[in-house]
A and B are shown apart, each in its own frame.
Chain A
Amino acid sequence: MLDFTMLIEPDNLKLYADGLLTTLKLLLVSLACGLAVSVPLAVLRVARSPLLYGPVWLYTYVIRGTPMLLQLYLIYYGLSQFAVVRDSLAWPLLSEASFCATLALAINTCAYTTEMLAGAIRATSHGEVEAAKSVGMSRATLYRRILLPSALRRSLPAYSNEVVMMLHATSLASTVTLLDITGAADRLYSTYYMPFEPFLAAALIYLLLTWGLVRVFRKLEGRYLAYLAPRSH
């Protein structure tokens, strides 16, 4: 019934290998950009002034409240509809499917990570904040030395979830002509008229990647959250 022989043909193996590279590139670049931007946004998000937290709240609310596939379509197909966009300086970038996909992924992970970090900052124990103030730390120093390092560490378990979700979200890139892992499987599906084998192979690759990511985060948690673990002796 099942026939996996097509999967071991050199051309098709290469298709999956290239797909794996594309997936990893999408994931790593968007995660790096998203995380870098989310740290300052999280600080703004917990600010007292509505002028500061308002825009960030709106951003995370809209992005988290709409499907990513839709956002990707808006960026890739929607923007290209307007001549203004096509004549703009941004067009060389926006005309690239890989840029559009990375942008959509980064905007997404940034929104979720911002809320996650903001939550962790809010949950910092008052004792730590008061102690910092009592030794005369300025607001900036307080964030740099106490709030952010602690919040980033405590966000690790939630962030590992986010990374795994993002890995799976990269599969949406196949809807805008990119040949990621899902795109490679899709290609084989339409070439051989067989859905099961290529998609099963793709699922297996995602599963292995997820397993690897979870292991990496285990290690990181063991190192950076050791201070929160119960005393063993």
Chain B
Amino acid sequence: MKKLAVSVALALSCSGLALAEQPKQIRIGVDATYEPFASKSADGKLVGFDIDMANALCAQMKAKCVFVEQDWKGIIPALNAKKYDAIISSMSITDERKKAVDFTDKYYHTPSRLIAKAGSVKGTPDSLNGKRIGVLKASTQEKYAQKYYAPAGAIVVPYDNTQQVYLDLNAGRLDGTVADSVEGSTGFLKKPEGKGFAFIGPVLADQTIFGYGAGIALRKGDDALRNGFNGAIKAIRANGTYKKVNDKYFNFDAYGA
């Protein structure tokens, strides 16, 4: 009987939370293998631009972020399975993803680029014929490599996270990767493992693939939360909080044009 009472109380409190217009706690899905946006510090804490930005947005909305870690390829299915309420994990707003989730306005926008051994390739799709290009599974970069490099004869190899890509680049199993320019620089090129590698060619441009910058993904129809985040993004852009977080990581404005 006691058990029943407890579970009834639990059920009531849960439904109470769901009914509240703006939840006190917002569960945030994040893939913590994406330095400097989201990674784990030596003591296991989540750190990075996405984490600080999420905390700033939650604070603006008078709520508390609770982070839930998730592999990149499962990050949208887990959102729709209600494992968390929002994805703040450098997710590019693309038309294809919009079929599965809703997005807020962008909260930053950095371009993607090709990374390879310095001087090994020219960067044109043709120069990648027969080369092995590692990419993050289900990323915009994978889409780009499949669309432009695979038809030119490159072998596109998908990985579960960017760390595995960088391991295999370093080991020589891969000839190159397509990565976000900021993440590729901090997560690989500036580290000892990235020695001898460099950005090749210009910034990659294809808006149908790379979309409109990184946004916060929400379940379809979760308009209350979407409006809340959109308002918060505007507010922290205006009140200087965004700049404070931005300047901790970058010497340029990551918000983009």
Interface residues of A (CB under 8 A from B): 77, 80-81, 86, 91, 95, 97, 175, 177, 186-187, 189-191, 193-195
With A80-B168, A191-B138: A95-B76 Cβ-Cβ less than 8 Å: no
- A95 contact set on B, CB distance < 8 A: 171-173
Closest to B78 in A: A195
The residue from A77, A175, A189 contacting B167, defined by CB atoms under 8 A apart: A77
A189 touches B159 (CB 8 A): no
With A177-B157, A177-B159: A194-B77 Cβ-Cβ less than 8 Å: yes
B167 touches A80 (CB 8 A): yes
- A77 contact set on B, CB distance < 8 A: 164, 167
> Which 6 pairs show the lowest CB-CB distances between chains A and B?
A190-B138, A80-B171, A190-B73, A193-B76, A193-B100, A190-B137
- B231 contact set on A, CB distance < 8 A: none
B158 touches A187 (CB 8 A): yes
- B100 contact set on A, CB distance < 8 A: 193
B77 touches A189 (CB 8 A): yes
Shortest CB-to-CB span from A196 to chain B, Å, is: 9
The answer for the CA separation of A81 and B73 in the assembled complex, in Å, is 25
- A189 contact set on B, CB distance < 8 A: 73-74, 77
- A187 contact set on B, CB distance < 8 A: 137, 158
B77 touches A193 (CB 8 A): yes
The answer for the CA separation of A190 and B74 in the assembled complex, in Å, is 7
Closest to A176 in B: B164
Find residues 74-94 in chain B having any chain A CB closer than 8 Å to their own CB: 74, 76-77, 80
Beyond A81-B167, A193-B76, 15 additional pairs, beta carbon < 8 A: A77-B164, A80-B171, A80-B173, A86-B171, A95-B171, A95-B172, A177-B159, A177-B168, A186-B137, A187-B137, A191-B138, A193-B77, A193-B100, A194-B77, A195-B74
Q: For the complex, is B160 an interface residue (Cβ under 8 Å from A)?
A: yes
Shortest CB-to-CB span from A85 to chain B, Å, is: 9
- A195 contact set on B, CB distance < 8 A: 74, 77
Shortest CB-to-CB span from B55 to chain A, Å, is: 27
The answer for the CA separation of A77 and B165 in the assembled complex, in Å, is 11
- B137 contact set on A, CB distance < 8 A: 186-187, 190
- B74 contact set on A, CB distance < 8 A: 189-190, 195
- B171 contact set on A, CB distance < 8 A: 80-81, 86, 95
- B164 contact set on A, CB distance < 8 A: 77
13 CB contacts below 8 A, A to B, read A80-B167, A80-B168, A80-B171, A80-B173, A81-B167, A91-B172, A97-B173, A175-B160, A186-B73, A189-B73, A189-B74, A190-B73, A193-B76
- B76 contact set on A, CB distance < 8 A: 193
Closest to A192 in B: B100
The answer for the CA separation of A187 and B160 in the assembled complex, in Å, is 11
